[in-house]
Amino acid sequence: MPEINRLDSTNADFGARLDALLDRLPERDSQVQSVVADIIADVRVRGDAAVLEYTRRFDRLDATSLEALEIPRERLKAAWDGLPTALREALSTAHRRIRDYAERQGLQGFSFIDAHGNELGQRVTAMDRVGLYAPGGKAAYPSSVLMNAVPAKVAGVRELVMCVPTPDGIVNETVLAAIHLSGVDRVFTIGGAQAVAAMACGTQTIAQVDKIVGPGNAYVAEAKRQVFGMVGIDSIAGPSEIVVICDGQTDPRWTAMDLFSQAEHDEEAQSILISPDAAYLDAVQAAMDERLAELPRAGIVRASLRARGALILVRDLSEAVGVSNHIAPEHLELSVADPDALLDEVRHAGAVFLGRHTPEAFGDYCAGPNHVLPTSRAARYANPLGVYEFQKRSSLIRCSPEGARALAPIASRLADAEGLQAHAASARDRR
Amino acid sequence: MPEINRLDSTNADFGARLDALLDRLPERDSQVQSVVADIIADVRVRGDAAVLEYTRRFDRLDATSLEALEIPRERLKAAWDGLPTALREALSTAHRRIRDYAERQGLQGFSFIDAHGNELGQRVTAMDRVGLYAPGGKAAYPSSVLMNAVPAKVAGVRELVMCVPTPDGIVNETVLAAIHLSGVDRVFTIGGAQAVAAMACGTQTIAQVDKIVGPGNAYVAEAKRQVFGMVGIDSIAGPSEIVVICDGQTDPRWTAMDLFSQAEHDEEAQSILISPDAAYLDAVQAAMDERLAELPRAGIVRASLRARGALILVRDLSEAVGVSNHIAPEHLELSVADPDALLDEVRHAGAVFLGRHTPEAFGDYCAGPNHVLPTSRAARYANPLGVYEFQKRSSLIRCSPEGARALAPIASRLADAEGLQAHAASARDRR
């Protein structure tokens, strides 16, 4: 049977053991930090030339101009046309469902008039230009292209620029097809910190963007951290996580495979099952043994389960939710007869999958909600990626002459108390 | 007359001169970075003891326990009761108006059923615990306490913890009164990186928070950057900025004082007037000369205007908005006869003040919208502080058995294309 941690909430050391399993503060490698800082500084000064040089060095692509690294729209369309029909239809359906969900997410402005005739409001506008990063190589996922691009399109962003590295010129046709489907405006085959720097600072060929989103390796993540402030960024994704809460009545084979579907991502991924039914935990562990044989990535799954996986026995389902709230997982499956009863108690989770017929994998591809979700306990304070991440609000204030006379003495009194006399005088001018 | 940069959009070097005035990428002092990293690491390991030690060293407060540095509620109430009546009333009115505005800002969830009977939704919950930072000393502003605490309260955050340093034991009574009014749950007289670290990591006395908001000095800002990922943070505030677009018909004395009201914050603050009327720019500069005499902080105002202020002549009001969109200012006054005509073209601004009777100072204190706004061009992608910054969304997915059968082949096909066989198998289990 695969090794996996077994915890029991009635044990005195339960809290400590759980926290030890969860503890993985993002470590920042000072070597990576300084390499990235140098690349950003260089791209900022030398622009295209620096990007070309790093692309030559890291991706072994020898281009004489950044334009030569842009993928023409016809090439994207050709990739789309070349896909097997079944795959093209699956991508189309996923795209439509992601868009349908996103269309309900847009922010709304408002406006109201106070008792003095002043108008107060909030206005929503889309960003002008957004940069999408898509990893190359083995982590090149067409589903990520859809999940990052579709909400930006729905938000009304005027221009989407994408960077996707193609080391040694190797391209992923399904990724190109997904880019075509998403309606991205410009695509460059550059990657790493140099791609992030180019989008954040702007170069001769790539205009500065307002925000950069999308997953990447340690260099990309560090580059996003360092350019934050020049541009907005999405959250820095940690390893993927799932918590399954089960009442013991779901087919243990299903639960085993749901846990595997996180564990197969990488050795750092985390799969946790919580149940008040000890026999069920045993049954799932037995089912794991059996179903591992189905998986080409069994080695990764075993390593992930051994290092970070857990089967947790609790007193009851309410305690299970309490444990999950502490974990604040990226994905939470409520694999129980009455998920609504538990949902009321759920405080923190990136996405909640209700009932036994809702595996997390649906959310990764085609249910509709975004698969970019807060990890590493960030569901305590952060949001799934969504349309709202590509819009921003402006406050609106419009005073009538009478309304200004009502506000002037309040503002000037508070400004005087803070020693800001120009504020006070500016307010009093409208008395 | 006070020195101030004069720019003309018809000059060939206009773009370069404007960008030179705007350019102020946040510089990160490596000395500050390493001091802060050490403090955070120390507080993380030693908790209360470390916080007490730094508070002794930096604020010269000698306490034997962190409990001794907590301000009792009675002390806050006494500060409130001790305020002059007029100031108490001004604070109360400001509080009520900020709350009334915030109450319209809360996020809304949604839910819908797809063609297959699957439910897809978005659920909104408040954060559990939020940490507010308020600076001590000369930058101690009661208005900041209201602006940070009120939206968190309206969001339904369960516990608000506040840290406000009191170097040498000196407290600001108006700040304490504002804390009382805001309904903050616990207040500690600690500050700097050690206060941020205590809230981010948790100590024996201070529970870990989910998000930290509020302004502070360079050490506080760097500490917030470094703990991001353990907790959420608000944006890192740069110097304050205002752009006034005027058609030349507003009393130049008013406009002069509106520009001063940013310039008086500090030498780094930025005040920019844009108008198509050259004579008006001259008139405002003359009015500045006259009105500087009203200001105790005239030295700061002069330095700010000389280094970072500008009077910009443009061809017409539409070009004025274009220049403003490039600046993406924190505050934008549309001091014109028909502000709505210009508002349609405004793409980026933290807050927009419509018409001649709406000085920015109203927004700082009592209009209702939050005065914590994106600076340094961040209005391109960031929001004013608001209720939504203390809430977060979870995606909801609930599949019916039939609905699961419809999604299973799509998800499994895409998962197979990505080489993630456990995902594919987990989806196929629900066929």
pLDDT in tens, B10-27: 999 999 999 999 976 556
Q: Tell me if A359 and B430 make a contact (CB, 8 A cut-off).
A: yes
Domain ranges of chain B: 5-17+238-380, 47-233, 398-425
| CA–CA min distance A66, chain B (Å) | 24
Tell me what the mean pLDDT of segment A312-325 comes to: 98
Q: How far apart are CA B365 and CA A23, in angstroms?
A: 42
Q: Tell me if A370 and B395 make a contact (CB, 8 A cut-off).
A: yes
Strands B391-398 and B119-126: antiparallel
* Strand extents, DSSP E, A247-400: 270-275, 310-313, 331-335, 351-354, 391-398
pLDDT band at A139 (very low <50, low <70, confident <90, very high): low
pLDDT band at A2 (very low <50, low <70, confident <90, very high): confident
Residues of A in contact with B143 (CB under 8 A): 414, 418
Residues of A in contact with B362 (CB under 8 A): 397, 399, 404, 407-408, 411, 427
Structural fold of domain A5-26+238-367: Rossmann fold (3.40.50)
pLDDT in tens, A347-399: 999 999 999 999 999 999 999 999 999 999 999 999 999 999 999 999 999 99
ipTM over 0.90: yes
Residue B95 is a catalytic residue = no
What pLDDT score was predicted for residue B393? 98
Architecture of domain B47-233: 3-Layer(aba) Sandwich (3.40)
Given a cut of 70, whether residue A138 has pLDDT beyond it is no
Q: Tell me if B399 and A119 make a contact (CB, 8 A cut-off).
A: no
What pLDDT score was predicted for residue B30? 84
Tell me what the mean pLDDT of segment A397-414 comes to: 97
Tell me what the mean pLDDT of segment A162-188 comes to: 95
Q: Tell me if A211 and B381 make a contact (CB, 8 A cut-off).
A: yes
What pLDDT score was predicted for residue B23? 74
For A90, nearest residue in chain B (alpha carbons):
B410
Please report the number of interchain residue pairs, chain A to chain B, with beta-carbon separation below 8 angstroms: 380
What pLDDT score was predicted for residue A188? 98
Q: Is A68 left (phi over 0), alpha (psi -120 to 50) or beta?
A: alpha
Q: Tell me if A399 and B367 make a contact (CB, 8 A cut-off).
A: yes
Nearest to B357 among A370, A378, A401 (CB): A401
Candidates B32, B333, B418; CA nearest to A147 is B418
Q: Tell me if B397 and A367 make a contact (CB, 8 A cut-off).
A: yes
φ, ψ for residue A429, nearest 5 deg: -55, -30
Is A217 assigned to a binding site?
Answer: yes
pLDDT in tens, B77-99: 999 999 999 999 999 999 999 99
pLDDT band at A235 (very low <50, low <70, confident <90, very high): confident
Nearest to A397 among B114, B142, B363 (CB): B363
Query: At the top level of CATH, which class does the domain A30-109+125-233 belong to?
Result: alpha beta
Q: Tell me if B382 and A232 make a contact (CB, 8 A cut-off).
A: yes
Point out the residues of A that are catalytic.
330-331
What pLDDT score was predicted for residue A100? 98
Q: How far apart are CA B429 and CA B209, in angstroms?
A: 40
Is B285 within 8 Å of B313 (Cβ atoms)?
no
Is A180 assigned to a binding site?
Answer: no
Q: How far apart are CA A339 and CA A318, in angstroms?
A: 11
Is B364 within 8 Å of A411 (Cβ atoms)?
yes
Buried b (16+ CB within 10 A) or exposed e, B386-410: bbbbbbbbbbbbbbbeebbebbbbb
Q: Do domains B5-17+238-380 and B47-233 have the same CATH topology?
A: yes
Largest separation between any pair of C-alpha atoms in chain B: 80
Q: Tell me if B410 and A232 make a contact (CB, 8 A cut-off).
A: no
Name the CATH code of domain B5-17+238-380 (choices 2.20.25.240, 3.30.310.10, 3.30.70.3270, 3.40.50.1980): 3.40.50.1980
For testing the chain B interface, which of A143, A395, A413, A430 should be mutated: the one with the most B CBs within 10 Å? A395
Q: Is B47 left (phi over 0), alpha (psi -120 to 50) or beta?
A: left
| CA–CA min distance B314, chain A (Å) | 23
For B361, nearest residue in chain A (alpha carbons):
A423
Q: How far apart are CA B352 and CA B372, in angstroms?
A: 13
Is A364 assigned to a binding site?
Answer: yes
Nearest to B422 among A90, A264, A348 (CB): A264
For testing the chain A interface, which of B88, B414, B416, B430 should be mutated: the one with the most A CBs within 10 Å? B414
SS3 state of residue B234: coil
What pLDDT score was predicted for residue A27? 66
| CA–CA min distance A248, chain B (Å) | 17
Joined together, the tokens standing for residue A28 give: 């920042």
Nearest to A395 among B351, B398, B415 (CB): B351
How many helices (H) and strands (E) are present in chain B, helices listed first? 17, 14
Candidates A350, A339, A345; CA nearest to A374 is A350
What pLDDT score was predicted for residue B112? 98
Least confident of A20-24, A341-345, B221-225, B344-348: A20-24
Residues of A in contact with B399 (CB under 8 A): 355, 357-358, 362, 367
